[in-house]
Every structure is written in C-alpha cells, then in structure tokens.
C-alpha cells in the first residue's frame, strides 16, 4: 500500500479526490521554471488553508509537502494498526536548550499534514480553553482571545447553513456532503462525538456517525441534534439535506435534516 501511495498522484492538472474512490479533482500545475506568487512549505491546517485562500484570491500558489498524496478511502482501513504507513518515522529532534526526539506515531506524513493523521476531525474550542492558565490553572493562555477567534467560527457556521448539501457517499463511519464550501482545516486532536460535522481544508463537510474514528484533528464547527442521529444514519447518496441552527451554544446543534 505504501509503495503505491508514494507514486506521484498529483500531476497533469489533477489530484486525487479524497472523498470518492478512484476519482480526481482539477489542480493547477506549474513547470519547474515558472514564476509563482507564493510557495508554501507544508499543507496541513495552516499551509493548506493559506494556499486555498490565496488561490481563491487569484494568486498563483505552489505548495510542498514531504509525504504521499493519500487516498484515505483506499489506502487506510478503519483501525489504528492499518495506518502504520502514515507514521512519520524519520528522525526528528526538536531545537532549543533541551532537545528531545519526536515519536513516530504522533504526526502523519503526507499531503495534508496532520489533517490526514487526525482524520479531518477537530472540535471548536470552548472560550475558557483559550485562557487555560488564568481561568483553569494549567498550561499557558493563548495569545488570542475567544472573541478574536469567534468570527472565523461564525464564518464556518454561516457556510454550513447557507444552502442545501447533497449526500456524496455514506457508511457507518460518516456521510460526506457536496455543497457550499465551508471554512475548515486542522486543529488539535480530540475525540469527536457522534453527529459532529467535521470540515477538512477542502471545505466539504463530513457528518460523523457510529463507527467514526475516536481521535482526530479537523475543524468541527457544529454537532447535529441528538434526536436527528437516526435520520442521519438513513441518508443515501444523492439525497439533499439542510442544516438549521438551534440555540446559541459554543458548539451549535443542528436540526431538520429531512
């Protein structure tokens, strides 16, 4: 499996579609001697999102990453042991006065960075987590406040509720949706609840169901209402759903999937 993934997959104007087996999406390519506006090293939550925003603004962008362009639906199975090829096993040692060697299975190697390693899952931070030292007594406070971050959460939520989504594929792990692009990307790894709506850097939401992975690191701007989980489990390809906001909660609930 690893040897197959190491082959160049993103070339000739296309890249693997990570949400559909054997499919492709358009990708602009450049010759080695072409001049571009931006070159970005690393395609995880930061680099991948930045490359997307710059390209959408009309700039020419090249992004580099160390590992393969994985096809998750074909290269991985839904258990931890089968994902050993994803581990970054090269020797990596931190800088500073007290360098330490990094482990091999705490980060992924591939296009998408740790957004691949954490299976596109990340929950929205609660306000007090950003001030964990001053309010909770551990760690360090973040250099930004929840109020500064909240507009970006709202941007993702507005995109989720802006129009209908069509079911692309679905199984017991989750339902992949096509529709309006939703802001997303990589965050810290955490355990997602059933019904979490996770959004990878590509902007296509995934509704997580019973057999979801138990630890992952993509943005999850919302969770559907528990009463709608049985309906979500019955969704079939080509069916259309719409999200509606319920209440005013740091992790909003959605209803009315029918």
100 and 152 co-located in one domain = no
Res 80: pLDDT: 62
Q: Which of 91, 115, 139 is the last residue of a domain?
A: 115
How far apart are alpha carbons 117 and 255 in whole angstroms?
30
- Does residue 185 contact residue 43 with C-beta atoms inside 8 Å? no
Res 125: pLDDT: 79
Res 207: pLDDT: 84
Q: Give alpha helix (H) positions in the chain.
A: 2-6, 45-56, 72-75, 114-117, 146-160, 229-233
Res 258: pLDDT: 41
49 and 153 co-located in one domain = no
- Does residue 245 contact residue 213 with C-beta atoms inside 8 Å? no
How far apart are alpha carbons 235 and 258 in whole angstroms?
9
The ranges of the chain with pLDDT < 50 are: 249-258
226 and 127 co-located in one domain = yes
- Does residue 69 contact residue 94 with C-beta atoms inside 8 Å? no
Look up the pTM and report it.
0.54
56 and 141 co-located in one domain = no
CATH number where 242 lies = 2.40.100.10
Res 11: pLDDT: 85
184 and 240 co-located in one domain = yes
Structural domain range at position 250: 120-255
Q: Which of 55, 84, 115 is the last residue of a domain?
A: 115
Res 17: pLDDT: 83
77 and 131 co-located in one domain = no
- Does residue 175 contact residue 210 with C-beta atoms inside 8 Å? no
Using alpha carbons, select from 181, 156, 176, 174 the residue that is nearest to residue 166: 176
Q: Assign 52 to helix, strand or coil.
A: helix
Q: Which of 85, 115, 145 is the last residue of a domain?
A: 115
38 and 144 co-located in one domain = no
201 and 239 co-located in one domain = yes
Domain total in the chain: 2
């Amino acid at each position: 499996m690893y040897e197959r993934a190491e082959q160049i997959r993103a070339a000739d104007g296309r890249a693997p579609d990570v949400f559909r087996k054997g499919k492709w999406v358009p990708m602009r390519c450049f010759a080695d001697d072409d001049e571009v506006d931006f070159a970005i090293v690393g395609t995880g939550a930061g680099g991948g999102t930045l490359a997307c925003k710059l390209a959408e603004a009309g700039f020419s962008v090249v992004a580099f990453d160390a590992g393969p362009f994985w096809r998750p639906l074909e290269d991985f199975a839904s258990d931890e042991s089968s994902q050993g090829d994803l581990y970054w096993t090269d020797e990596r040692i931190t800088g500073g006065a007290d360098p330490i060697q990094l482990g091999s299975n705490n980060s992924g190697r591939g296009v998408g960075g740790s957004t691949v390693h954490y299976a596109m899952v990340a929950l929205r931070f609660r306000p007090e987590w950003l001030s964990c030292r001053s309010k909770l007594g551990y760690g360090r406070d973040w250099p930004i406040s929840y109020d500064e971050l909240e507009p970006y959460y709202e941007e993702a939520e507005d995109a989720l509720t802006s129009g209908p989504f069509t079911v692309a594929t679905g199984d017991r792990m989750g339902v992949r949706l096509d529709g309006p692009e939703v802001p997303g990307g990589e965050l810290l790894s955490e355990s997602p609840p059933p019904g979490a709506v996770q959004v990878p850097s590509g902007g296509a939401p995934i509704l997580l169901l019973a057999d979801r992975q138990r630890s992952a690191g993509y943005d999850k701007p919302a969770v559907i209402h528990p009463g709608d989980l049985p309906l979500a489990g019955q969704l079939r390809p080509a069916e259309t759903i719409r999200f509606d906001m319920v209440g005013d909660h740091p992790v909003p609930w959605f209803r009315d999937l029918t």
